[in-house]
Structure 1
Amino acid sequence: MEGQTCSLILALLCFLHRASSIETSGVPEENPAKEMIPVGLVFGMNSPMGKVVESCISMAHSEFYGAHPDYRTRLSLLVRNPNDNAVDAASTVLDLMENEEVHAILGPKWSSQAKFVINLGEKAQVPIISFSATSPSLSPTQSHYFVRTAYDDSSQVGALAAVVQAYGWREITLVYEDTEYGNGLVPYLVDAFQEVDARISYRSVIPLFTEDIDIVKELNNLLTRQTRVFLVHMTAGIGSRFFALARDAGMMSEEFAWIVTDGLSSLLDPFISKSLDSMEGVLGVRPHVPLSESRRNFEERWRKLYAERNPHDEIADLSLFGLWAYDTVTALALAGEMAWDPAKSRYLKPNTSRNKLNFSSIGISEMGPKLLDKILSIKSQGLTGEFNLSSGALHPIAFEIFNVVRQNEETIGYWTSARGLSPELNLSTKVVYTASANDLKLPTWPGDTLKPPRGWVMPISGKKLRIGVPKKDGFDEFFKIEWDPHTGVPSYSGFAHDMFMAVLDALPFAIPYKYIPYMNESRQSAGTYDDMLFEIKLQKVDAVVGDTTITANRSSYVDFTLPYLESGVAMVVAIKDDERRNMWIFLKPLSWNLWLTICVAFISTGFVVWLLEHRTNEEFRGRRRQQLSMIFWFSFSTLVFAHREKIGNNLTRLVLIVWVFVVLILTQSYTANLASLLTVQRMTPEFVDVQDLIRNRHFVGYQKGSFVRGLLAGQLKFDESRLIPYGSPEEYHEALSKGSENGGVAAIFDELPSIKHFLAKYCNKYKTVGPTYKADGFAFAFPLRSPLVSYISRAILKVTQDKAIMDGIEGKYFRGQNSCPEQGAAIFSDNLSLSVYSFGGLFIITGVVSVFSVLIYVVLFFQSNWPSSRAIRPCDRSLRSKFSETTNNFIREHRLLGCPWKNGSKMALTSQFRSMEASTNSDIRVTARGHNERERPLLSMHV
C-alpha cells in the first residue's frame, strides 16, 4: 500500500513545474582537469542545522581533495534547497536524476521525504545516502539503494527501557510528533518496554504544525491521568515549544519524570540548547561519540569557517548530523575514486527531453551499482568513531544517559547492549547485564529534587480510590461492616481491614480512599467474590480489599498484590467417638489376621518342641491328653517365660531361642500400642477420602460466595446438585452434626484461615482430612497493570515481616484459636492396629528355623534307626521295605496314642536292631519302661 501511494505521488510530479535554485557558494569550484562525478545534495540549508551541515560538507570536500590532489575524480555537489514536504523533495530528486544525471543523492533531511525519494533511487539505481533520516521504518535491508550514514532511532530503545527499569516505573505516557520520524519508533518502544515489564499506558500524538492552545489542552488531559512518567520523542522545533508549555502548566515539578530521545539532545540539534531552561530535571539518551583528537581539531577549524560564512549569526554548536555529513562526503569521495569507470559514467537511457519532468523517462545510472558496492565496503575511522556501512547503516557502540541541570546536559551514565547501565564507559570490561539506578550517578529531577518520582499519582481531579469490600454474614473476623444505629455511618474492622491500614501506613505516600460495600439495598451480599472482583474490570471500583484468594481465572481481569495471608482449600469432617471407651480395646493393638497368625505360630512351635523332645525327654511323655496339654502349655508359657520343662535336644534349644525373641518383640509391640490407645486421644474421622464422598453422592458444603464451589465442581468433579453453600461457622456446625443422610453434609470444603477459625470454635468435634489443595493466598486486587500493585506488594512485605505488627493484628482476631487444644496431639489415623506385614520377617525366620530343625531331627532318626542289611526276612531287604519300616517306627514312636500301664503308667515298646553293634550276630531285644522307671528287659532273642 505504501509503495502504491508513493508511486501515485511520484506520478503527479510529472505534471508539476517548479524552479530549482542551485546554490554553489559553499561548494568548491570544479577543476576542469579532473573527472567530475555529479552528486545531488538535497537538504534544507536555510535552517540552523542546514547551515551547520552545509559548512561540514564543504570542509569535507575541500579537505579530502586537498589531502589527495592526485585523485583523478572530483565530486560535483549539486545543491538543492527544497521545502520540508515530501513532494517537494521528491520533485527535486527527480529533476536531478533527469536533468543532471547524478550518480548519488545526499539527503534528504527528513525521514518522510526519504520514504518517497528511496523509490526513485531504486528505479534509477542511484544510492540515496542520508545522514539525517533516522526513522526505523526506513530500512537498508528493504531498500537496497538506501544507505543510512547515521544511527537508526530504534537503536536507542534498549537504553530507554533500561532507564525505565532502573527506576521501577511500570507505566509510561508516550508523547510523540505525528510524523514519519515520530510514528516509526512506536512499535519498537512497545516491544522494549514489554521486555522490562512496563507498558505504554497512553499515547499522546502531537501534530507537527499544531497551535499552542492544542498542546495546552493535551497537557491538561495528561494531568487527569495517573501516570507521571513521560517519554517525549520529537524534533527540536516542536519539542522546545512543548516543554515551554509543560513548564507553564506546572508539569516540570516534583512527582513528574520526563525522558527524551536523542532528537531533543543538543548533540543532534544545537537549537534545543536555547530551550534547556524549560527542561530542568529531564533525563535523556543520546549516542556516545568519542571526543578524539581529530574531532577536537575539526571543531576548531569548523568554528572559524562558520564564523566567516555567517558573520551575522550566533555561532551554533556542532551537531552530530554535521559530523555524519563530513564522514559521509569523505567516504563518498573515496568510493567515487574507486568506482570511476569512464565507460560507465552516464545513464543507460538518456532523457528524451531535458528540463521537463517526466517520471517515465528516468534513466538508469551505470555507475550507481558500483558506487553503492564501494561505499558499503569502506571501513575507516571517522569523526564519530568507526565508519562501517557493511550492513547499510552505522551502529552505535554506546549511549549516554544525560540529565538537564542548570541548562546543561550532564552525563550521569552509559548504556551498552552487553552490560546495560554503568556510571563509566569501559567497553573492555565483561560483566553481567544490569539495569539499576545504583549504576547511574544521582540525577536532579524536576522540582530540583534528588528523590526519584514514583511514576504515578492520584489524578488531580480529586477523586478518592474506590475500594470494594465484601459484605459477609459470617466469618466476619476477616472483614466486618457495622452501621451506627443512630447515624447510619458504617464502621469497618477485621483482619483484612487492619492489614490494609497497616499497608497504607507503610507506603511512602498517602492514598485517599473510600470503601464501597458490595451489597444490595437490604445490606446483603450482592454476589460472589468473582462478581465483586469483576467490578474492577467494569471500572465501578478501583480496588478490592478482603479475604480474596488469588486464582488463575481472576488474574485474567485483575492484578493481585503479593499475598498477605497464606491459604489453601481443605476438607473438614466430623469425628467419631473416642475409642478409649470401648471395652474390647485391648484387642485393638493387633489386627485380626495378626492375632490368628500368632495363634498358629504358638501351636506350631509347641508341636515342633514336642516332636523334638518326645523320644528322649520324659517330661514330654504321658497320656494323649497330657501330651496335648504340654504342646499348648509350653508354647503359650513362653509369653511370660514361665516354662520349667528341661530341654535336652540342641535343636529344641535353637528353636526356642528364636521363638523367645519373636515373643519378646510381639509383647513389647503390643504393650506399646495398647498404651498409646489408652493414653492418646483418638479422633477417627467419619470420612477420609474425597472419592468416597463423590462415589456415594454425599452432600458437601462450602462458604457462600467463595471460589471453592468452582474448585469442587470443576477440579474435583462433584455433582453441583450435591453442593450446599453456608455462610457462618454456626451453619457449618449444624450441617456437619446432622450428616449427609439427615439434611446436612458429610464434609465442608473451605480455605485454611476459615477452617482454623471454625475448628477453634468447635474443639475436638471436627477435623481436617485428606490433601490440602494449594491456593496462592489472600491478596488485594487492582486493575490490570495498575502501578499501585508494586508499591502495595512491597508494603505488604514490610508489614508481614514485622513481627510486632503481625502479632498485634493476629492476636486481635485469632486469639481464640490458641485456646483450643491442638488437634495435632491427637491420633488421626483411621487404623493403628499392627498387621502381619509388620512382623512378617520374624514369622519367616522362626518358621524356617523350626522346619530345618525338624528336618535335621528326622534325618538323624533315620540314620540311627535304619535296618541292617541282614533283615529278619530276606524279602524285606529292599530299600523300599527298609524305608517303610523306618518310617513306621518313626510314626509309632512319635504318636500321641500310647499303651497304658498299670497304675496309670504307659508302656513303650522299643525295637532296637543291634546290627550296628554286632558284626557277626544280631539279636532282638524287647524292653519295657514304665513311668518314672528304668528300662527293664522283657524279651531277648538271638537270630
Structure 2
Amino acid sequence: MDMTSRAGKEARVAMEIAIDDFNAKTSQNVTLYARNSKGSLFEAIHEATYLIDRRKVEAILGLYTMEEVLSIGEIGSKSQVPTFSLLDSIPQRTLDRFPFLFQASPSQFGQMKAFVAIMKSFQWNRFTFVYEDINSASTEFIQHLMETIKESSIQMNNMVKLSPLASSSSLLEELERINMEQCRVFLVHASLETSVRLFQDAKTMGMMDIGYVWITTNVITDLLHTVNSSTFSMMEGVVGIGSFFADTNSWFLDFSTKFQKRFKVEQPEEENSMPAIFALQAYDATWIAALALTKKNISGKNLLDVISSLSLNGSTGEVHFINRKSTASKRYRIINVIGKYYRELGFWSEGLGFSQVTNDRATYQTSLQNMGHIFWPGRPLHTPRGWAIPSSVSPLRVGVPTMAVFKKFVEVKYDHTHHNFTYGGYTIEVFKETLTRLPYHLPYKFIPFNGSYDSLVKQVYLKNFDAVVGDVSVISRRYQYAEFTHPYTETGLMMVVPVITHHEQWLFVKPFTLGMWALTIVVYIYNGFVLWLIERKHSPELQGSALNQAGILLCLSFTRLFSLNGDQLDNNLTRMVTVAWLFVAIIVGQCYTASLTSMLTIRRLAPKVADYETLKHANAVVGYGRGAHVSSYLVDVLGFKDENLRSFTSPEEYAYALRNKEIAAVFLEAPFTKLFLAKYCTSFIVAATFGEGGFAFVLPKGSYMVTDFTKALLNVSESGTLQHIEKRMLGSEHCVDMDSMQDEYGRLGLTNFWSLFILTGSTSTIALVIHVVITIRSRLRW
C-alpha cells in the first residue's frame, strides 16, 4: 500500500496491532511483511512479485486503487495467493475474472441512499454532482449514483468532472460555470487534497455563503479528522456522509489507546493520531486473512472455501463474504462542519432512517431536520431552498402555436401599438400557474410559431425551443422528438355529429311551468263562474241541481268559451268577460303551441350517426382542426380516405359545415368538444370516443424539468386551482341555440303572462261586482 497517504499510514499500524492481537489470542505465529508502493503502480507490482516469489507469502493485503487491484489481482490469481483489497468498490466482473481476489472493505455505495434521504428531508429535488476522476472506481460510483436517484424523484442538474492536476484557474472556471445555474445543492466526491482546493476557491467566489448547500461523500468525510482548523473554517456548513463505526464501546477505546501510542511513534509528522475507518477496516481484513490461513492448515479445505465460509464480528460490524465481497455497509455517519471542527449529527440506517443512537429503533426519524439544528454555509436562520436566480440565466424559449382553432385555449395576437405579440388562453394561464409551483424560478419568453403541431414539437428536438405550450396533444409518435408532462386536460378524441330528436312521453305539459298551469286553471274556473253566475237566469241549460250546476260550471270553464258566441250571451257584462277571456286564451294558446313545437325539435337529442364505420362505408366527408394530428389518426387508425377529410379554422366553420351537410361529422379532442358543445348544445352531440392523450406541456427529451413540471401540474390540479382556471377561462361559453327560448328548457312561466291574467281577471271581477250591485239594487226596490 501507499504508506505516504493517511489511509496507508493508519492501515499499516492497524495491521500490526491486528497481527499482535491475533497471535496473542490464537497462539499462532502469523508474520506481517509491509511494503510501501509510494503511490506508484510499478512499485506496487514489483513489491507484490517480490513478496510472492521471495517471501513466499500466503496472502496479500492492501490495494487501495483500482489499478493496483487489476494488476496485483492478476498476479495473485496466477500464483493462487488470496489477495485482499481494501478498495470498497471493486466491480463484480473483476472479481469473476480473478478467482483469488477478495474485496475486504464493505461497499459504501449505500451512502447514495443516505444522500437521497437528506435531499428529501429538505425537499430539494436537484443537485450538481462534482467529482474527481481519481481512477476507474469513480465510474462505478457514478453508475450507482444514477441508479439510486432513478428510483427517486431527485434529479441531477449537472455533472462536473475535476482533474487531480487541475490548476486553480481551472477550478475557478468550473465553479463560475455551475454558479451561473440555479441549482445550489452540490454533492462532492473527490480526494481530500482536491476538495480542499475546491472549497478554498468556492469561498473566494462567495459560494460558501448563505443559500449554498455542500454535501460530501465518505471519500472526504472519512478524512476530515486529519485536516487543520483553517481548513474547517473554510468548509464551515458542509454536511458530510461518512463510514460508520462504533467509537464508544470498550473494544474501540482499548484499540484507540494502542493505536495512538504506536501511531505517534511511527508517524510523528501527523497532528491527529486518532484511528478512523481505514484503521478499523484494515484491522478486520488482517484478522480475516490470518484466520483463513490457520483454518486451512487445520481443516485441510481449499483456501477459497475457507475464506468464503468465514464470519467475523469485527470492529466495523459483522464481516463475511458474499461472492468474494465483504457485505455492504447499511449505516452511515452524518456530520456537520462547524467552526474549527465538526460535530456528529447522527446516523442513517437503510430501511430505518435517521437517528442519534444506533441501538434503539424507536428513535429513528424519516427526516434529518428532526436531528437538531444544522449549520449551513453562512449560518442562515432558515434551511436553504436549494436554488437561486443567477443574473445571467437565459430565459426559457417557449413556442406557442398561432394556428389554434379554439382561441379560448390559446390565442396569439399582434399588438400594433407596442409592436409585439400578446399571448392568452387557458393553456397559457395553466402554464403560468404551474411555474409558480416549481421549486425554483424559471424565467421564460413566448415565441409564436406558425405551422403544424408536429412541426412545433419537432422544434424542441431541433433546440429552437426549450418548451412548447399550447393545445398540443400527447401522442406516441411525438415522443421521438420530445417528452410530455402529465396531461392537464381530459383525454380522448371525440366524433361530433348532428342530432335527431327523441321525445318524452309527458313532453306536452312541459311548455308551461307548474305555477303557470295552476294559475291558468284557476283563472279559467273563475271566468267560468262569472259567466255562469251572470247568465244562469237567462239560460235554462245553466240551471238545475247543485251537482248538475257544478258540472256545468266546470264544463263552461273549459268548453263554452270556444262554443259560445255573442248572440248566445244575453248580458253585456258576460260579453265583456268573454272578449277579454278569449283574447287572453288565444295568446296563451299560441304561445303554448310555439313552445311545444320548439321542444319537439330539440328535446331528447340523439346522434344522427352512431359510429364511424357507418361514415366510412358511406364514403362520407368528415372534418378536423387545421394543423392538428387528427388527420393522420383518421387515415392511419380509423381508415378514412384522405380525400374525404376537410380542415377548418374555427368552431363556427364546424357548425356551418355540419348544418349544411358539407360534412357528416367532425373529430375533436375532448377539451375542444366540451367547449364546442357548450356553444352548440342542442344541435350536435358526441357519437363516439377514441383513445387520445390530452393536452400537455412539451419539454426536451431527458430534461429534469419533466418531473418538476408534472409534479407542479399535479399540485395545481389537486389544489383546485386548475378547475378555477377552467371555470374562469372556459366556463363563459353560452349556448347560441338556446337564445330564443325562455326560462329553463324554454318553459313559459307566470312572469311571461302576468299582464294578460290581470286583464282577464280584472275584467271578470269588474263584471262580477257590477252584476252583484245591480242584483242588490233590484232586490231592494222589490
Given the alignment, which residue of 152, 166, 173 partners 1:196?
Answer: 152
- SS of residue matched to 1:779: coil
One-letter amino acid of the structure 2 residue matched with residue 329 of structure 1: T
Q: What residue number does 1:361 align with?
A: none
Instruction: Tell me if the contact between 1:263 and 1:269 (Cα under 8 Å) persists in the aligned partners.
Output: no
Q: State how far apart, in whole Å, the 1-side matches of 2:648 and 2:174 are.
A: 53
- SS of residue matched to 1:238: helix
Q: What residue number does 1:299 align with?
A: 256
Q: What residue number does 2:400 align with?
A: 469
One-letter amino acid of the structure 2 residue matched with residue 247 of structure 1: K
Q: What residue number does 1:761 align with?
A: 679
**How far does residue 516 in structure 1 lie from its aligned partner after superposition?**
0.5
Q: State how far apart, in whole Å, the 1-side matches of 2:670 and 2:97 are.
A: 61
**How far does residue 573 in structure 1 lie from its aligned partner after superposition?**
1.8
Given the alignment, which residue of 262, 271, 286 partners 1:314?
Answer: 271
**How far does residue 322 in structure 1 lie from its aligned partner after superposition?**
0.9
Residue-pair matches, total: 650
CA gap 1:111/1:133 in 2 versus in 1, 3 angstroms: farther
**How far does residue 698 in structure 1 lie from its aligned partner after superposition?**
0.6
One-letter amino acid of the structure 1 residue matched with residue 64 of structure 2: K
- SS of residue matched to 2:109: helix
Q: What residue number does 1:60 align with?
A: 18
Please, what TM-score do these two structures have when normalized by structure 1? 0.62
Q: Deviations over 1:824-857 (max 9, x none)?
A: x99xxxxxxxxxxxxxxxxxxxxxxxxxxxxxxx
1:382 aligns with 2:339: no
**How far does residue 706 in structure 1 lie from its aligned partner after superposition?**
1.8
- SS of residue matched to 2:603: coil
Q: State how far apart, in whole Å, the 1-side matches of 2:308 and 2:229 are.
A: 34
| Worse-superposed segment, 706-715 or 195-204 | 195-204
Q: State how far apart, in whole Å, the 2-side matches of 1:384 and 1:755 are.
A: 66
Q: What residue number does 1:290 align with?
A: 246
Q: State how far apart, in whole Å, the 2-side matches of 1:498 and 1:258 are.
A: 36
**How far does residue 423 in structure 1 lie from its aligned partner after superposition?**
3.2
**How far does residue 574 in structure 1 lie from its aligned partner after superposition?**
2.3
* Residues 340-739 of structure 1 aligned to structure 2 (within 5 Å): 340=297, 373-389=305-321, 391-406=323-338, 408-412=341-345, 414-417=347-350, 419-423=351-355, 443-449=374-380, 461-472=392-403, 474-507=405-438, 509-518=440-449, 525=450, 527-576=451-500, 681-739=603-661
CA gap 1:91/1:312 in 2 versus in 1, 3 angstroms: closer
Given the alignment, which residue of 655, 666, 681 partners 1:748?
Answer: 666
One-letter amino acid of the structure 1 residue matched with residue 272 of structure 2: I
One-letter amino acid of the structure 2 residue matched with residue 571 of structure 1: M
One-letter amino acid of the structure 2 residue matched with residue 209 of structure 1: L
One-letter amino acid of the structure 1 residue matched with residue 687 of structure 2: G
Identity %: 28
Q: Deviations over 1:585-642 (max 9, x none)?
A: 9xxxxxxxxxxxxxxxxxxxxxxxxxxxxxxxxxxxxxxxxxxxxxxxxxxxxxxxxx
Q: Deviations over 1:718-769 (max 9, x none)?
A: 2222111111112212221331xxxx211111123323333343453x3123
Q: What residue number does 2:281 align with?
A: 324
Q: What residue number does 1:928 align with?
A: none
Q: What residue number does 2:203 align with?
A: 247
Q: State how far apart, in whole Å, the 1-side matches of 2:382 and 2:486 are.
A: 26
Q: What residue number does 1:608 align with?
A: none
| Worse-superposed segment, 453-462 or 147-156 | 453-462
Q: What residue number does 2:32 align with?
A: 77
* Residues 765-804 of structure 1 aligned to structure 2 (within 5 Å): 766-801=683-718
**How far does residue 394 in structure 1 lie from its aligned partner after superposition?**
2.5
1:119 aligns with 2:51: no
Q: State how far apart, in whole Å, the 2-side matches of 1:781 and 1:451 are.
A: 35
| Worse-superposed segment, 777-786 or 461-470 | 777-786
Instruction: Structure 1 unaligned segments of length 5 or more: list them.
Output: 1-42, 345-366, 519-524, 586-673, 827-943
CA RMSD for the aligned pairs?
3.9
- SS of residue matched to 2:160: strand
Instruction: Tell me if the contact between 2:13 and 2:263 (Cα under 8 Å) persists in the aligned partners.
Output: yes
Q: State how far apart, in whole Å, the 1-side matches of 2:94 and 2:224 are.
A: 21
CA gap 1:102/1:299 in 2 versus in 1, 3 angstroms: same
Q: Deviations over 1:52-86 (max 9, x none)?
A: 22322232233333445xx3x42332222122122
Q: State how far apart, in whole Å, the 2-side matches of 1:217 and 1:734 are.
A: 64
User: Which of the two has greater helix per residue?
Assistant: 2
Q: Deviations over 1:679-724 (max 9, x none)?
A: 9724354322211111111111011112222322233222222111
Q: State how far apart, in whole Å, the 2-side matches of 1:490 and 1:482 are.
A: 6
Q: Deviations over 1:531-580 (max 9, x none)?
A: 21221222211222222223333345433333333243222222357889
- SS of residue matched to 1:150: coil
CA gap 1:235/1:506 in 2 versus in 1, 3 angstroms: closer
Instruction: Tell me if the contact between 2:61 and 2:83 (Cα under 8 Å) persists in the aligned partners.
Output: yes
CA gap 1:736/1:371 in 2 versus in 1, 3 angstroms: closer
Instruction: Tell me if the contact between 1:277 and 1:406 (Cα under 8 Å) persists in the aligned partners.
Output: yes
Q: What residue number does 1:643 align with?
A: none
- SS of residue matched to 1:52: helix
Q: State how far apart, in whole Å, the 2-side matches of 1:579 and 1:328 are.
A: 90
Instruction: Structure 2 unaligned segments of length 5 or more: list them.
Output: 509-595, 746-782
Q: State how far apart, in whole Å, the 2-side matches of 1:802 and 1:124 are.
A: 68
Instruction: Tell me if the contact between 1:136 and 1:185 (Cα under 8 Å) persists in the aligned partners.
Output: no
Given the alignment, which residue of 37, 46, 51 partners 1:91?
Answer: 46
**How far does residue 289 in structure 1 lie from its aligned partner after superposition?**
1.5
Please, what TM-score do these two structures have when normalized by structure 2? 0.74
CA gap 1:456/1:137 in 2 versus in 1, 3 angstroms: farther
CA gap 1:316/1:274 in 2 versus in 1, 3 angstroms: farther
One-letter amino acid of the structure 1 residue matched with residue 603 of structure 2: Q
- SS of residue matched to 1:230: strand
**How far does residue 378 in structure 1 lie from its aligned partner after superposition?**
3.6
**How far does residue 195 in structure 1 lie from its aligned partner after superposition?**
2.5
CA gap 1:797/1:573 in 2 versus in 1, 3 angstroms: same
Instruction: Tell me if the contact between 1:127 and 1:147 (Cα under 8 Å) persists in the aligned partners.
Output: yes
Instruction: Tell me if the contact between 1:413 and 1:441 (Cα under 8 Å) persists in the aligned partners.
Output: no
Which structure would you say has the larger Rg?
A: 1
**How far does residue 323 in structure 1 lie from its aligned partner after superposition?**
1.3
Q: State how far apart, in whole Å, the 2-side matches of 1:145 and 1:804 are.
A: 64
CA gap 1:679/1:472 in 2 versus in 1, 3 angstroms: closer
| Worse-superposed segment, 715-724 or 281-290 | 281-290
Given the alignment, which residue of 122, 139, 143 partners 1:183?
Answer: 139
Greater relative contact order (CA < 8 Å, ≥ 6 in sequence): 2
- SS of residue matched to 2:418: coil
Instruction: Tell me if the contact between 1:175 and 1:230 (Cα under 8 Å) persists in the aligned partners.
Output: no
CA gap 1:678/1:390 in 2 versus in 1, 3 angstroms: closer
**How far does residue 253 in structure 1 lie from its aligned partner after superposition?**
4.1
Q: State how far apart, in whole Å, the 1-side matches of 2:238 and 2:481 are.
A: 35
Instruction: Tell me if the contact between 2:346 and 2:354 (Cα under 8 Å) persists in the aligned partners.
Output: yes
Q: What residue number does 2:61 align with?
A: 106
CA gap 1:50/1:801 in 2 versus in 1, 3 angstroms: closer
One-letter amino acid of the structure 2 residue matched with residue 548 of structure 1: V
**How far does residue 202 in structure 1 lie from its aligned partner after superposition?**
4.2
**How far does residue 428 in structure 1 lie from its aligned partner after superposition?**
8.3
- SS of residue matched to 1:289: coil
Instruction: Tell me if the contact between 2:334 and 2:344 (Cα under 8 Å) persists in the aligned partners.
Output: yes
One-letter amino acid of the structure 2 residue matched with residue 398 of structure 1: K
- SS of residue matched to 1:76: coil
CA gap 1:173/1:695 in 2 versus in 1, 3 angstroms: farther
Q: State how far apart, in whole Å, the 2-side matches of 1:122 and 1:152 are.
A: 22
Q: Deviations over 1:508-549 (max 9, x none)?
A: 65432111111xxxxxx2x22222122122221122222222
